[in-house]
Amino acid sequence: MNENGDVALRFLQAFWRGDLAATSSMATPEANFVFSRSLPYPRRCPLRDAHAQIVGGLFAAFDPPGKFTVTVRHVLAVGDAVTVEYSAAGKLANGRDYENDYIMAFTLRDGLIHEQRAYTDTAHLSRLFGP
């Protein structure tokens, strides 16, 4: 793994802790987050706004809020491109068990996160959080 892979992994670790100040400090000022098309969010939005929505929504839905475990499976770093595959698991406040797989693809610029693209099973997310 190259230095950009280390940056992306530290960035995700801060994100998983809900440490938005840390993620902001590791990103370019114009960094973007790209959501899956099937989610009810703008497809592309400022990374800071997306992280605030995720931490305030998804992370807050755990019992206790923000309590989940992450298992990193693979990190692939080539030049300014980094891909991290991981799973997250925990108990939701609605009583359901949460477990989902993710791939986060990053583009870095000058050692900072410039774009984060999220890939996950959004139908599964809807079932977990739906009625």
Residue 119 CA from chain centroid, whole number? 9
Q: How many domains does the chain have?
A: 1
pLDDT higher than 80, residue 40? no
Query: What is the CATH classification number for the domain harbouring 75?
Result: 3.10.450.50
- Interatomic CA distance for residues 97 and 116, integer angstroms: 26
> What is the share, in percent, of the chain residues with pLDDT greater than 70?
98
What is the structure's pLDDT at 12?
95
∠ CA 86-88-91, nearest 5°, is 175
Question: What's the domain range around 24?
Answer: 3-129
Query: Residue 14: its pLDDT value, please?
Result: 94
Nearest C-alpha neighbor of 68 from the set 95, 48, 87, 49: 87
pLDDT of residue 36: 82
pTM above 0.95, yes or no: no
Instruction: Quote the pLDDT of residue 61.
Output: 86
Is residue 12 classed as helix, strand or coil in its secondary structure? helix
Cβ proximity of 34 and 115 under 8 Å: yes
Tens of pLDDT, residue by residue over 82-110, are 999 999 999 999 999 999 999 999 999 99
Number of alpha helices (DSSP H) and beta strands (DSSP E) in the chain: 4, 6
Higher pLDDT, 62 or 12: 12
Q: How confident is the model at residue 21 (pLDDT cuts 50, 70, 90)?
A: very high
Residue 42: pLDDT above 80? no
Q: Say whether pLDDT at 125 is over 80.
A: no
Q: What is the average pLDDT score of the chain?
A: 91
**Integer Cα distance of 31 and 15 in angstroms:** 15
